[in-house]
Structure 1
Amino acid sequence: MRKGLTADGAGLAGDRVVAVGSTGRVLVAASARALRGEDCADLGLPTALSRFTGAPEPVRRAAAARAAGRIALTPDQIAEVDAARVARWIVDQYQRRRYPGVVLGSPHGAAAHLAVALGVPWLPAAFETTVHWSRGAVDRPAAALDHGAVLAARLLAGNPDVHVRQVHCPASRGTQTAVTVSLTVRWQSLPTAYARFLADRVEAGAPVLLLRDARTWPVHDAGRGHSFQAGSPASGLEPVDFHPDSHALRQVLRSAGGDGTRWEPPEVSAPQGYAEHGVEPGFELAVRQWAGRCGHQLHRVLFPRPELLSAAVADLYRAWLRLAGKTGDRLVVECGRLLDPWQVVRAGMVPYWCENATRRSVDAVEWWLAGSEAFSSVDVLPESPGMRSPALAGLPQWLAVAAFGRRRRALDRTAARGYPVATMPTRRATEVLRAQPYDLPVPPPLSAATAVEALRDGAGEQGLVVC
């Protein structure tokens, strides 16, 4: 609550503030539904962009820009954002009952799957929001910083306990970067709603897992609660690829309707700062202090690359399913927002989550499959990013992932149709997984002690840090 600016309960609703389609929003919704024994059939409807799959790129870009503008906040509305109210909206999505623990931290599909296996909620350490940029340009990161600094100042005036990370990445957001500013709002302490949730709905002495994305990226930070990064590790590109002389950058900007010769990023102040999905030190410290004060054991899991956590949780699921007498031989490779934790558990499948459709993500799942015991079936759900990029995996590479299945090798044709420019709603994953045979009963919840021990045992091999 922003004292002096809004009354209790005032401000924009969390549903309006948190960016539609953002990873964190989808994961909270999917996790809350899974804990209620529900799937994601109501998450996401076909967008207007699906009508423009075969249209020329300028037409698709214009449609994408209009769609992004419709759901973004206005510059005036950013002053009405109340991070405390957003936190209440997040916890209110979970049923009012006691849980045997909680998972917090960076947005990651495997974190949601882990939480569902444990029978506990997943709570993000940040949320994303987008704001109109009426005179924006995809190839002007310095102008984006200037505009974003004004917006961030308005938000920070009423929310001094957050840090705002602005991300200008045409390689992952495409034309949207020309019409909106993307802000990741990271809590620097434990929100009051989270503290109440932990006190009232988490069983006494239950374990707390904090998952941290430890990827780094060059950051411009003037020290006023607002930082800026040009590009993102989620783009599948390296920081050097966002240099003005980069051929990859010119391809990206051309695809997004920009001009590579105009790209002049702001000066970097932290060459190795944590990227947008990192957890603020103050948030981690607050969780640690709360856990110590209230008698809860805190386990921290740091992953320097998202595929490491995906592989570790997939291995954990396989062992969990086999312990319950199931085969653990059926794999689903999810991507981005195409996931459904409840249908995965209902079908007794092993989930591997790819952050996106980049070659880096798909290479990682191929290497993991090559080193794993073979699966009898492999179903693949590639999420189209809605734009073209030199970092994207082609459909032949996705087909190569499916080919690891001994008997069943399935690449979802609907998701593949129009790839990479068509977009698919989360419920498409539900439709695919509903067609899988049931494997009931659902295994009893995995104990946190077993999960942490398994993650710790595989930490060295997987590259995780578990402490």
Structure 2
Amino acid sequence: MHKVHKGLTADGAGLAGDRVVAVGSAARVLVAATARALRGTDCADLGHAGPMSRFPGTPEPVRRAAVTRAAGRVALTAAQVDEVDAGRVARWFVDQYPRRRYPGVLIGSPHGAAAHLAVALGVPWLPAGFEMTAHWTDGAVDRPAEALEHGAALATRLLAANADLHLRQVHCPASRGPLTGVTVSLTAAWQALPAAYGQFLADRLAPGAPVVLVRDARTWPVLEHGPRHSFQVGCPASGLDPVDFHPDSHVLRQVLRSVGGDAARWEPPQVSVPSGYAEHGVDSGFEGSARDWAARREHPLHRVLVPRPAALSAGVADLYRRWLRGAGKTGDRLVVECGRLLDPWQVVRAGLVPYWCENATRRSVDEAEWWLAGSEPFTSVDVLPEPPGVRSPALAGLPQWLAVAGFGRRRRALDRTSARGYPVTSVPTRRATEVLRSQPYDLPVPPPLRATEALAALRDSGRHQGLLVS
């Protein structure tokens, strides 16, 4: 059980947000990192090492058993699912931010570059949904249909008490590994702006301050199982394509073999929507509600449509370079972050340019290399590859990460702690803080960017990446 810090949990019935939102999930980590940066502190207290992080040579069956036991300690029980209150989760998110007036806000899909953009603007970032994990006692990684049956029963109970949610259940052994067989993953999307968000914006936004909605536009085959409950096998973050989760796929056989499953038992449910928004998309009701709220209170709303994570990562990295140089800094020192390994405050403290990889897949790292190849050279490149804790044919190897570091003209650094035991160990978020603290200070921090300036720069530099800013 993770300690709930006083002042970060709102009053009310149901489980505290700290207990509901999945440990290590993107929304949880990004809100925590952004809130700390706006307070002028780093992420040294964030994250905990996994059970096998100190023993990279542990046999695979022992490792899987330890990981599943650890997951069982933090997953929601069936009884706790009944106590989930999405309104309380929203209050927990907003209560993490300092109580002051802000010149804007970013809301929407989780993305590390969005957190960096929020810090450069001096504004909060708030998610349009959150992830949960719940126990699946008799589960199996190779039984997606049974996962759906178990998840549907949980969804019925959870949605009965949360009329403003849509639940997307994701069964993805390629990204979640053995956890797929002992827990179900539920991504909750608000279908309207939560009351706590509306109150926070009304109280904390300066007059006329913009609302910027970041929307993940990736799609994936989806099964609409019931009212406000949908299901998908696999996910974009796996680094694989939907066809790779077909029963006849050689890639699927590799994935299931690595997590103790059997492809002969793999019988996924038939999808009903061949190309719906993936699990981190923003619900149309949420966007419409945010737009209505902004219009009634005379706040401009801008939308940033992200076709793939690298588009926003590249746009924000280019923006940071321009911002730093405008303040008289070099803008020639790059840090390539990955997953939970980020620290926005240490980035601005050291005057670094941040490029965020969603995960350690070849697809993510390929895009980082392409961006670097087309960019003005950096004098130093520090790379923080987050070990995903699983094996997959879609993952980048350490040589590819070393190639990313090789773009530095003078300094080329790959974090050895992250690399030790890669890809099956785990590294806490605070590892990024430990690495970035060693960077020389480059103070003072540049004055905050104006939203109009940042959006114009993203519109200009992101156009060829497919980034749509409106």
1:22-61 alignment, distance < 5 Å: 22-61=25-64
In 1, Cα distance between equivalents of 2:68 and 2:48? 18
Could you say which residue in structure 2 is the equivalent of 1:204?
Answer: 207
CA contact (8 A) 2:359 2:386 kept: yes
- CA shift for structure 1 position 459: 3.2
In 2, Cα distance between equivalents of 1:191 and 1:208? 15
Q: Are 1:431 and 2:434 counterparts?
A: yes
In 1, Cα distance between equivalents of 2:340 and 2:462? 26
Q: Aligned to 1:258, what secondary structure does the other structure show?
A: coil
1:387-426 alignment, distance < 5 Å: 387-426=390-429
Amino acid at match of 1:466: V
Q: Are 1:444 and 2:452 counterparts?
A: no
- 2:231 is matched with which residue: 223, 228, 231? 228
- CA shift for structure 1 position 333: 0.1
Could you say which residue in structure 1 is the equivalent of 2:7?
Answer: none
5+ residue gaps, structure 2? 1-10
The root-mean-square deviation of aligned C-alpha atoms, in Å, is 0.9
Q: Aligned to 2:63, what secondary structure does the other structure show?
A: helix
- CA shift for structure 1 position 370: 0.2
Q: Aligned to 1:50, what secondary structure does the other structure show?
A: coil
Q: Are 1:259 and 2:262 counterparts?
A: yes
In 2, Cα distance between equivalents of 1:429 and 1:382? 10
In 2, Cα distance between equivalents of 1:456 and 1:51? 44
Residues 397-453 of structure 1 show CA distances to partners (whole Å, capped at 9, x for unaligned) of: 000000000000000011101100110000000000000000000000000010011
Q: Are 1:77 and 2:73 counterparts?
A: no
Could you say which residue in structure 1 is the equivalent of 2:284?
Answer: 281
Residues 161-192 of structure 1 show CA distances to partners (whole Å, capped at 9, x for unaligned) of: 11000000000000000000000000000000
- 2:157 is matched with which residue: 140, 154, 158? 154
Q: Are 1:120 and 2:123 counterparts?
A: yes
Residues 180-212 of structure 1 show CA distances to partners (whole Å, capped at 9, x for unaligned) of: 000000000000000000100011100110000
- CA shift for structure 1 position 47: 2.6
Residues 113-134 of structure 1 show CA distances to partners (whole Å, capped at 9, x for unaligned) of: 0000000000000000100000
1:73-152 alignment, distance < 5 Å: 73-152=76-155
Q: Are 1:366 and 2:378 counterparts?
A: no
Q: Aligned to 2:340, what secondary structure does the other structure show?
A: coil
CA contact (8 A) 1:53 1:60 kept: no
Q: Aligned to 2:275, what secondary structure does the other structure show?
A: strand
In 2, Cα distance between equivalents of 1:216 and 1:44? 30
Q: Are 1:330 and 2:333 counterparts?
A: yes
- 2:220 is matched with which residue: 217, 220, 223? 217
Once the two structures are aligned, what percentage of the paired residues are identical? 77
Could you say which residue in structure 2 is the equivalent of 1:66?
Answer: 69
In 1, Cα distance between equivalents of 2:178 and 2:55? 15
Amino acid at match of 2:446: P
Instruction: Judge which range, 8-17 or 154-163, deviates more.
Output: 8-17
In 2, Cα distance between equivalents of 1:418 and 1:403? 21
- CA shift for structure 1 position 359: 0.1
CA contact (8 A) 1:331 1:352 kept: yes
Could you say which residue in structure 2 is the equivalent of 1:173?
Answer: 176
Could you say which residue in structure 2 is the equivalent of 1:3?
Answer: none
1:282-361 alignment, distance < 5 Å: 282-361=285-364
- CA shift for structure 1 position 219: 0.3
CA contact (8 A) 1:242 1:249 kept: yes
Q: Aligned to 2:356, what secondary structure does the other structure show?
A: strand
- CA shift for structure 1 position 46: 2.2
- CA shift for structure 1 position 256: 0.7
- CA shift for structure 1 position 360: 0.1
5+ residue gaps, structure 1? 1-7
Q: Are 1:385 and 2:388 counterparts?
A: yes
Q: TM-score, with normalisation over the residues of structure 2?
A: 0.97
CA contact (8 A) 1:52 1:60 kept: no
- CA shift for structure 1 position 69: 0.7
- CA shift for structure 1 position 222: 2.7
How many pairs were matched up? 461
Could you say which residue in structure 2 is the equivalent of 1:245?
Answer: 248
Q: Aligned to 1:345, what secondary structure does the other structure show?
A: helix
Could you say which residue in structure 1 is the equivalent of 2:4?
Answer: none
**Structure 1 segments (4+ residues) deviating >6 Å:** none
Residues 131-154 of structure 1 show CA distances to partners (whole Å, capped at 9, x for unaligned) of: 000000000000000000000111
Residues 27-55 of structure 1 show CA distances to partners (whole Å, capped at 9, x for unaligned) of: 00000000000000000122322144211
Q: Aligned to 1:49, what secondary structure does the other structure show?
A: coil
Amino acid at match of 2:79: D
